[in-house]
Amino acid sequence: MTNHELVEQIKKLQYQVKTLAHCIDYERYPVESLVLSMDWDDSQLNKAHDIFQKYDEKLEQKEEINWFEFEHELEAEFKIGYQTVKSIVLAFFNNHQWVDVCNSYAMSFEPTTPVEFHCITRRSEP
Report the CATH number at residue 109: 1.10.3750
Enumerate helices (H) and strands (E) in the chain, giving the number of each.
7, 0
Burial 100-113 (b: 16+ CB within 10 A, else e): ebbbbbbeeeeeee
Segments forming the whole domain that contains residue 67: 3-124
pLDDT at 110 over 60: yes
**pLDDT tier at 23, thresholds 50, 70, 90:** confident
pLDDT at 89 over 90: yes
**pLDDT tier at 126, thresholds 50, 70, 90:** very low
Q: What is the pLDDT of residues 39-74, one digit of tens each?
A: 899 999 999 999 999 999 999 999 999 999 999 999
Number of domains in the chain: 1
